[in-house]
Chains A and B, each alone.
Chain A
Amino acid sequence: MARDPSERPTPPGRPAAGTIFYLLFGPIVWSLHFLAIYGPQSLLCARGLPEAVGPTLMGATLVCGLALLAAILAPERLARLMKAAHWPAERQAFLDTVMRALAGLSLFAVLAGGAGGLILPACPGLR
C-alpha cells in the first residue's frame, strides 16, 4: 500500500473533474440534446419559422445519438480523451460499466425525444 502518498509529487493528468465528466458523459449529452431540441423549437415557433424545426431536431438527435453510440462502443477512447483512463483496473471497470449503461439509457432518452418530430407537426397545439 502507499505508505506516504502525501510526500509523492502530484502525478499529472489525473484530474478528478475529467473522470466525473467521463462518468456522466451520457446524461450530459442527453441534457445538451434536450436543450438543442426544446430551445430552438420554442424560438423558431415564436419567430414563425416552423419549417426549420424538423431539421434542427433531426440533426441534434443524429449527432447526440452517434456520440452516445461511440461512447458505448469505444469507452477506452473516450476515457483517454477525457483523461479518465488511468485508474486501477477495478475502478476503471466500474467507471466504464456505469458510463456505458448511462450512455445506453441516455441514447434511449435521446431517441424518444426525437421521436416526437416524426409524428407531430412542429408548432400547432392540436387541441
Chain B
Amino acid sequence: MSGWRALPPLLLAVLALAGCEGVQSALEPQGPEAARIALLAEVLFVGAGAILLLVVVLTAIAVYAPEARRRWLARHRVVVIGGILFPGVTVSVLLVYGLLLMGAGEADPGRATGAGAEGGGSGEPIRIAVVGEQWWWRVVYQEADGYRFETANEIRIPVGRTVELELTTADVIHSFWVPKLAGKLDMIPGRTNRLRLAADRPGVSRGQCAEYCGGAHALMAFEVVALSETDFAEWLELTAGPAPEPEGEQERRGRKLFLAAGCGGCHTVRGTPAAGTIGPDLTHVGGRLSLAAAILPNSPEAFASWIVDNQHIKPDNRMPPYGIFGDAEVEAIAAYLASLR
C-alpha cells in the first residue's frame, strides 16, 4: 500500500500551511459540550488508528509472509475472535460511552432541567430565540422581565452562564452549528428545538448553517461572542436600547435617505420610524463583528457594496440591489449604518 505511505508527510505539510485558524473548529472547544465531544473524538481517532493499523499489518502478513508465518491466521478461530468478539466488545464499550455522554450535559452547572435548576450556581439560563431564515439568522433576546429585543447574525453571551437557545425556522430546514461550543441542532418548521450551551472563556466562535437550505446556504454564517460577565452586561444594556442618534452631517443625510428610500419596509432601526421585520434588525448593526451573515467585514465600504451589489455577494437573497442611489448617497447610507453601534 505504498500510495498510503506517501500521504502522512504531505498531510503534515498541509497542516503546517493551514496554521491554527480554528475559529470554526470542533477540535478547539470553547465550551463544555464541545470539549466532551473533542475528547470523545480523540479517543475514537486513536482507537480507529490502532484498529486500522492492525488490519493493515494482518493483511500484509497474510499477503507477504512465508507460509509458515501466516498459517496461524488462516483459521476459522481468527474470524470468530477478530470478526465477532473483538468488534462486539469494542462497540459495546463505545455504545455505553456514547449513551452516557448523551446524558452528560445534564450534570453541567446550571443545566438541570427540573426544579433544582437554581442550585447550579450559574444563575438562570440566558434565553435567546434564534430563527433561521433564507439566508441569515434572526436573534431575539428574551430578558427575565419579559423584555425582548432583536438583533441578527451575532449572538453575544456571558462566559460561564448557560445559554438556552430556542431554535426555529421561518422557512426551510436550517441547522444551528457553532463547532467550538456544541454540536449542531436542526431548525425544523413546526418544531422548536432547544439547545443549551455555555462558553468557558471569552472569544469569538464562528458558526454556520449546516443543513442545506437552498441557494445561498454557503453564505449563512454567524458569530457567537463570549464576553466576560461585566462586558456582557454593558453590551446588553446598550443593545437593548434604541439606535444612537447620528452625529455627523454625512450620517444624518444617510438616515434621511435610508428612511426615504423605504428601507424601513424591511428593516427595523429602533428609535426611528423604520420598523420592518422582513430583514435583519439594524438597530446596532454597526457594532457587530461582520455583515450579511458573517460574510463581509463590518465597514462602511462593505455596507456600500452590499446595498448596490448584494445579489452578486449573496445571490438570490431577498433584498433587491439598490442601483437607484448615486455614489455619494450610498456612501451616506453606509456611513449612517456604520455609525449604528
When A112-B92, A125-B193, A127-B195 are in contact, do A119 and B105 touch as well, CB less than 8 Å? no
CB distance from A66 to the nearest CB of B (A): 20
A116 touches B99 (CB 8 A): yes
When A108-B88, A112-B92 are in contact, do A127 and B99 touch as well, CB less than 8 Å? no
| Chain B residues within 8 Å of A116, by CB | 99
A112, A115, A126: the one within 8 Å of B106 (CB):
A126
CB distance from A99 to the nearest CB of B (A): 16
- Give chain A interface residues in 101-127, CB to chain B under 8 Å: 105, 108, 112, 115-116, 119-121, 124-127
Let me know if B95 is at the binding interface, CB within 8 A: yes
B96 touches A119 (CB 8 A): yes
A-B contact count (CB 8 A): 30
CB distance from B226 to the nearest CB of A (A): 19
| Chain A residues within 8 Å of B84, by CB | 105
- Give chain B interface residues in 76-111, CB to chain A under 8 Å: 84, 88, 91-92, 95-96, 99-100, 102-103, 105-106
B88 touches A120 (CB 8 A): no
A contact residues, range: 10 to 19
When A108-B88, A112-B92 are in contact, do A126 and B99 touch as well, CB less than 8 Å? no
* A115-B137 Cα distance, complex, nearest whole Å: 38
When A119-B100, A126-B103 are in contact, do A112 and B194 touch as well, CB less than 8 Å? no
* A8-B154 Cα distance, complex, nearest whole Å: 82
CB distance from B249 to the nearest CB of A (A): 50
* A120-B102 Cα distance, complex, nearest whole Å: 8
Mask, A20-62, CB within 8 Å of B = 1, is 0000000000000000000000000000000000000000000
B92 touches A127 (CB 8 A): no
Let me know if B2 is at the binding interface, CB within 8 A: no
A127 touches B193 (CB 8 A): yes
Q: Which residue of A is nearest B99, CB measured?
A: A119
| Chain A residues within 8 Å of B96, by CB | 115, 119
Let me know if B210 is at the binding interface, CB within 8 A: no
| Chain A residues within 8 Å of B103, by CB | 119-121, 126
Mask, A82-112, CB within 8 Å of B = 1, is 0000000000000000000000010010001
Q: Which residue of A is nearest B33, CB measured?
A: A127
| Chain A residues within 8 Å of B253, by CB | none
Q: Which residue of B is nearest A117, CB measured?
A: B99
Let me know if B185 is at the binding interface, CB within 8 A: yes
CB distance from A42 to the nearest CB of B (A): 14
| Chain A residues within 8 Å of B106, by CB | 126
CB distance from A35 to the nearest CB of B (A): 20
Q: Which residue of A is nearest B182, CB measured?
A: A127
- Give chain B interface residues in 238-264, CB to chain A under 8 Å: none
* A125-B196 Cα distance, complex, nearest whole Å: 11
* A125-B106 Cα distance, complex, nearest whole Å: 11
A115 touches B99 (CB 8 A): yes
Let me know if B230 is at the binding interface, CB within 8 A: no
CB distance from A118 to the nearest CB of B (A): 9
When A108-B88, A112-B95 are in contact, do A125 and B100 touch as well, CB less than 8 Å? no
Mask, B103-136, CB within 8 Å of A = 1, is 1011000000100000000000000000000000
* A119-B113 Cα distance, complex, nearest whole Å: 17
| Chain A residues within 8 Å of B105, by CB | 126-127
CB distance from B163 to the nearest CB of A (A): 12
Q: Which residue of B is nearest A118, CB measured?
A: B99
Q: Which residue of A is nearest B184, CB measured?
A: A127
| Chain B residues within 8 Å of A108, by CB | 88
| Chain B residues within 8 Å of A125, by CB | 193-194
A127 touches B100 (CB 8 A): no
* A68-B198 Cα distance, complex, nearest whole Å: 45
* A96-B261 Cα distance, complex, nearest whole Å: 81
Q: Given contacts A120-B99, A127-B196, list 9 more A-B pairs with CB under 8 A.
A: A108-B88, A115-B95, A119-B99, A120-B103, A126-B103, A126-B105, A126-B106, A127-B105, A127-B185
Chain A to chain B contacts (Cβ below 8 Å), 21 pairs: A105-B84, A112-B91, A112-B92, A115-B95, A115-B99, A116-B99, A119-B99, A119-B100, A119-B103, A120-B99, A120-B103, A121-B103, A125-B193, A125-B194, A126-B103, A126-B105, A127-B105, A127-B185, A127-B193, A127-B195, A127-B196
A-B pairs, top 7 by smallest CB distance, nearest first, are A119-B99, A127-B195, A127-B185, A112-B95, A126-B102, A116-B99, A126-B103
